[in-house]
Structure 1
Amino acid sequence: MEKFQAGMVLGAVGDALGYRKGRWEFCTSGRQIQEELETLGGLGALKLDPDNWPLSDGALMHMTTTEALVTDYWCLEDLYRELVRVYVESMVSLQGRPPDPGTVEGCVHLKPNNFLLAWHTPFNEKGSGFGAATKAMCVGMRYWQPQRLDNLVEVSIETGRMTHNHPTGFLGSLTTALFASYALQGKPVVSWGRDLMKVIPKAEEFCRKTIRHMAEYQEKWFYFEAKWQFYLEERGIEEEGQNKPLFPDRYDAEETDKLYKRWSSEGRAGRRGHDAPMIAYDALLASGSDWNELCRRAMFHGGESGATGLIAGCLYGLLYGLSQVPAGLHQDLDRRQRLEDLGAELHRAASAEKIIEK
C-alpha cells in the first residue's frame, strides 16, 4: 500500500515542482530554472505548500481519474460513464488553473446524459497532447497484475480517447499506465520501453475491435511507434539483452533541453503524448533511485515540466517509495491527505479478486 500512496503523492510533488504556479512550466530554459532553484536554497530547502506550489490541472485530472477507478463499478461501461461524469464536472472545478486545451476540447464532446454513447468522442486532429498520458498512471496501478493486461489496455485507451482521441494522445495514456504496472511488478526499468513496443499491437487490435475512427487512426499510429523506436535505438536498448543505456558524456541543462526538443514534434519538449512519457522514462532510466537527479532531468527543464514531473514522480514513488525524498517536499503538499487516501483506495481496489469483464 505504501508504494501506491507514494506514487500518488510524488506524482503530485513532481507536478507542483515542474509547474511552480505556471512560472517554471512556461519557462523555455532549463538552465534558468535550475539557477532560480539555487537562489531558493536548492531542492532540499524547498517547502511545498498549497499557496506557493499548487497542483496543476494535470495532477487534478489524475486525481479525478483515480476517484472514478476506486468506485465499486460492476462493468467497464459503468466505469466509463462515471469517468465521463467526473471529467465534465472537473472542467468547472479547475479554478485558476488553465486546463490543457486538448482536455477541454475533448470534454465538450462527452455526453454524460447519453447512456449508450456517453464516452464516444469524434476523432480529434488536435488531440495529440500530453493530457491523456498524465492522468493514466492510476489505471496501471488499478490493473497492475500481468493477468490484467487486457483490462489495462482497454481502460487506458478509453480513458485517453475520452479527452484526446488521437493515437499520439491515447497511446501516451497506454504508455504511462503500462509503466506504472511494470513498476509495481518490479520489472527492470531498462526493459519497459521494449515491452511497450510489444503491447502496442494489442492496442491496435482493441481499436480495430471497437471500430472507432480506424481510418483516421492508422496514418497517425506510425508516428508514435517510430518516435519510440528511434528513442530506444538512440539509447542502445531496443533489443533483448541490451541493458546498459547509452547517455551523452555532457548532459547539462542546455544539452538536455536540446535533446528533449529533438524528441518533440514541435520544439516544445513534453508537449505531446509520445514525448512526455519518454522524457519521464529517460529521467528514471538515468537517475535510478537518485531523487535529486530525477528532478533535474524531469522537473527542471525548458519544456512541459509539470507534465513530465507528474509522470516521473509517480513512477519513482511506485518504484522506490518516499524514503529518499526530503520531507519538506511532501508533508504540507497541496491535497496531501486526499492523495494518500486515493493511493490506499487504489491498492484495495487492485487487490480485490473480482475480475471486471465487459
Structure 2
Amino acid sequence: MDSPPTLDHYKAAMLLSAAGDALGYRNQLWEYNESGPAIHQELQELGGLRGIVVQLPDWPISDDTVLHLATAEGLVTGKEGEELLQEVAFRYVEGMKDMEGRKPGPSSILGVSQLRPGTPGGYRIPYNPEGTGCGAAMRSMCIGLRFPRPEQLPSLISVSIETGRMTHPHPTGFLGAMAAALFTSYAAQRRPMESWGAGLLAEAMPAAKAFVQSAGYAVEESLRDWGYFSEKWSWYLSERGLSSGVGPVCWPTPYGPAERDLAYRSFSLSGWAGRSGHDAPMIALDALLGSGPDWEELMSRAAFHGGDSDSTAVVAGCCWGLLHGLEGVPPGNYCHLEYRDRIEQAATLLYALSH
C-alpha cells in the first residue's frame, strides 16, 4: 500500500466515485429514502451489491458526478489562476444543462445561475448564508488528484475554496470542498487514514483561513461563520478517539445500518445526514475507516444509509479507488457507467498532470 498511485488507481478513483454516486442515488429512490435498514432490505431483494449492474436507465449518475466531471475537465485543460477559475465556472454553467432527473441542490442551482464566466471576476457570486450544503464537496475530489503532493497543499486549498464558493460561498459549504480534495490527496500520499481528520484541522484549516483573508472576498462574512466546520470536526474526531491523529478508532457497538443512521444524523447540521459541506466528507471518512479494503462494506456504510447517500458515497468511492484500485469490485458496479469514457479520459489526463 506504500507504493504511489498508478494510472489504474486514478481511473479507479474516478470510476468508483461515479459508481458510488449512482448506487447511493438509485435514480432518486435511495437518496431520498430516510431509512438505512429499508435500503439494505431493498438491496437484498436486488441480489445484493453483486447483483446490481449500474447502467441506464435505472442507475444514472446524479448531479454529483456531472459536476465532478466539470471540475475535472476544467482542471485537465492545464490552465492556472484566474484562467482556471473562469474555465471551471464555464463548465459548471454547461454542466447545469445536463440535470434532467439528477436533482441538483438549491445552492448549486442558485450559484451557477449567478456565475458570469468570461467577465472579470465572473467566477464569484454574492455571499450566501444558506450556502452550507454538500454541493461543493461532492465535486472536488479530483482537485486532490490534480494536486496530490504535500507541497501542493496551497494550490489544493486555493483551487478547492475558489471553485467551492462558486456555488457555496459559506465556509461550511466551501470548506467541504477543501476536505474532499484534501482526503483524496492524503489517499494518494498513502497517509494513515486515522490521521486525515487531524490533518484537516491542524494543517489545512489555518492555511484555508489565511487564504480566505488574503483573497479579500466576503472576508467578514466568512470569518463570522467560520467556527462551525472546525467545531463539528473536532467533536467527530473526539467521538472516534482520533483527535491526536492516531488510532485505534473507537466504534460504537453495535454499529449496523440503524445505528449508523442515528450516528450520521448526529453529525449533521439540520438532521439530514451528509447534506452539508462538513458532514458529507465526515460520513465518507467514517465509512472508509470502518471498511478497509472491502468495497461492499464501504458501500454499505457510505451509500446505503438514510441520508444524502450519493454525496457521501461519491467522496468515499474516490478515496477508496485511489487506495485499492478495482480489486474486489463487482465489474457490474462500474463497467457500464454513464459517461464512463469521459470519466476515464479525465482520470488519464489528471494522472499525467499530477506528474
* TM-score strictly above 0.5: yes
Match of 2:320 in 1: 316
Matches of 2:290 and 2:94, distance apart in 1: 39
Match of 1:248 in 2: 252
- Which residue type is aligned with residue 94 of structure 2? E
Equivalent position SS for 1:131: coil
Matches of 1:206 and 1:273, distance apart in 2: 18
Match of 2:27 in 1: 21
Matches of 1:289 and 1:183, distance apart in 2: 13
Match of 1:238 in 2: 243
Equivalent residue pairs, number: 348
Instruction: Work out which of the residue numbers 157, 178, 181 in structure 1 matches 2:182.
Output: 178
Equivalent position SS for 1:120: coil
- Which residue type is aligned with residue 217 of structure 2? R
Is 1:76 the counterpart of 2:76? The answer is no
The runs of 5 or more residues in structure 1 that have no matched partner are 352-358
The structure 1 segments of at least 4 consecutive aligned residues displaced by more than 3 Å after TM superposition are none
Match of 2:129 in 1: 125
Q: Shift of residue 108 of structure 1?
A: 1.8
Alignment of 1:251-266 (within 5 A): 251-266=255-270
Deviations 1:108-147 (A, max 9, x none): 2211231x21112111111110000000000010011111
Matches of 2:12 and 2:301, distance apart in 1: 20
Matches of 1:312 and 1:247, distance apart in 2: 18
Alignment of 1:40-59 (within 5 A): 40-59=46-65
Matches of 2:299 and 2:264, distance apart in 1: 15
Match of 1:187 in 2: 191
- Which residue type is aligned with residue 22 of structure 2? A
- Which residue type is aligned with residue 36 of structure 2? G
Matches of 1:9 and 1:61, distance apart in 2: 14
Matches of 1:317 and 1:172, distance apart in 2: 20
Q: Is the 8 A contact 2:66 2:98 kept in 1?
A: no
Q: Shift of residue 222 of structure 1?
A: 0.5
Is 1:113 the counterpart of 2:142? The answer is no
Q: Shift of residue 94 of structure 1?
A: 1.8
Q: Shift of residue 93 of structure 1?
A: 2.2
Matches of 2:139 and 2:308, distance apart in 1: 15
Seq. identity, %: 45
Matches of 2:268 and 2:192, distance apart in 1: 25
- Which residue type is aligned with residue 102 of structure 2? R
Is 1:229 the counterpart of 2:234? The answer is yes
Q: Is the 8 A contact 2:17 2:314 kept in 1?
A: yes
Q: Shift of residue 50 of structure 1?
A: 2.0
Matches of 2:282 and 2:59, distance apart in 1: 25
Moved more, 40-49 or 230-239: 40-49
Is 1:62 the counterpart of 2:68? The answer is yes
Q: Shift of residue 220 of structure 1?
A: 1.4
RMSD: 0.9
TM-score (norm 2): 0.96
The runs of 5 or more residues in structure 2 that have no matched partner are 1-6
Matches of 1:117 and 1:80, distance apart in 2: 9
Q: Is the 8 A contact 2:173 2:277 kept in 1?
A: yes
TM-score (norm 1): 0.96
Matches of 1:275 and 1:158, distance apart in 2: 20
Matches of 1:96 and 1:175, distance apart in 2: 28
Instruction: Work out which of the residue numbers 87, 91, 98 in structure 2 matches 1:86.
Output: 91
Deviations 1:210-257 (A, max 9, x none): 1111211122110000000000000001014x3101001201111110
Is 1:166 the counterpart of 2:170? The answer is yes
Matches of 1:98 and 1:305, distance apart in 2: 13
Q: Is the 8 A contact 2:68 2:138 kept in 1?
A: yes
Q: Shift of residue 177 of structure 1?
A: 0.3
Match of 2:342 in 1: 338
Equivalent position SS for 2:26: helix
Is 1:5 the counterpart of 2:11? The answer is yes
Matches of 1:131 and 1:164, distance apart in 2: 7
Instruction: Work out which of the residue numbers 92, 103, 108 in structure 2 matches 1:98.
Output: 103
Matches of 1:59 and 1:170, distance apart in 2: 17
Equivalent position SS for 2:27: helix
Matches of 1:335 and 1:346, distance apart in 2: 17
- Which residue type is aligned with residue 304 of structure 1? D
Matches of 2:144 and 2:350, distance apart in 1: 10
Matches of 1:103 and 1:121, distance apart in 2: 11
Q: Shift of residue 89 of structure 1?
A: 1.7
